[in-house]
Each structure stands twice: as structure tokens, then as C-alpha cells.
Amino acid sequence: MKKSLYIALLATIAVVGCKEKTQDAEAETSAAPTEEIAVNYQSFGQQIDDQEVSDKAAMLEQYMSMKEGDTIAMKFRSKVNTVCQMKGCWMRLDLGDEEVHVTFKDYGFFVPKDIADQEVIVEGIAYVEMTDVDTLKHFAEDAGKPQAEIDAITEPQLTYAFLSSGVLLPEKQ
């Protein structure tokens, strides 16, 4: 009887011991670090982060549901198509078949003029506005467009616009 009790006790210890090792192994497996690549950014304007960032398709979808005068707070990632070559005081970002004209809050910061074709993250207020002919021509001049293209601007245009409070530009590796 004593021997049976002793064997049962050893079996219980073995089972409990194995179970704890299995749980420890599972914990180690789930705690194993995943490979993340840290991206360093140059920051312009208000400090923003790279968390919860929409892509350009989601941004375009938002714009397509908006009408003139609507606004929405957004943060999204996209490629820079053009930048104001006078000061870097605006940029146009790719939205696929469309572009968004980005200006900077309170004219308080600018971006480098040589960042065309680079990806940025912008945070701010998206809106739709009617842009008058004079402003469209001014933007075309700032972008360095040929005079013939500037002269061809004769009608106001409904514009996807974005007032950015902050911009992140990935640092070159």
C-alpha cells in the first residue's frame, strides 16, 4: 500500500512537472521576439508617430465620400509627387488616380524641396475645396511647370486638400 501511494505521488509530480515545462516552453515561444525593422524619421511640424497610419487607397476612399466643406482628421502614408520649389511650403501626394494638395498648418514649417518620389506620413485635416484659377496658376509656377501648362489653366478645380500639422520623412539608410 505504501509502495502504491509512493508510485502515485511520483506519477503526479512527473505529470505536474511536465505540464509546467510545456507551459514554460509555450510562454518562451510566444515571447520570442519578432523581427521588426526600426525606421528613423525626420520630423517636420508637430511631433507625430508612425502608428495607426492609413494608406493612400483608404485616404482616396475618404475623399471620394466627401463634398466641398467637409473635413476629417486623418494620418496617412503616400509618395510625394511634387514639392513647392520656392520654399517647400506645399507638396502634392499620390492617391493613385488622384493627388492631394498638402499645405502646412499656420505656414509654420516647410519640407525639403528634393523629396519627390519619397514616401511620407502626414497627419492633419483632410478637406475638399474649390481652388480658383489664380491659385492653381500660382501652384503651377511654384512647381516649375512650363508656361504653356500654366496658361492652359482656365477654370477653377475641385481639389483634395490636406492641412498637415506634422510630417514624417524616413531617413535615408
- Residue 82 near residue 92 (C-beta atoms within 8 A): yes
Counted residue by residue, the chain has a size of 173
At 30-72, the pLDDT tens digits run: 455 555 566 799 999 999 999 999 999 999 999 999 999 999 9
Q: Are the C-beta atoms of 119 and 79 separated by less than 8 Å?
A: yes
Cα–Cα distance, 117 to 78 (Å, whole number): 9
pLDDT for position 29: 44
Backbone angles phi, psi at 46, to 5 degrees: -65, 145
Task: Supply the pTM of this predicted model.
Answer: 0.72
| Mean pLDDT of the chain, nearest integer | 84
Q: What is the pLDDT of residues 71-95, one digit of tens each?
A: 999 999 999 999 999 999 999 999 9
95's grid cell: 492617391
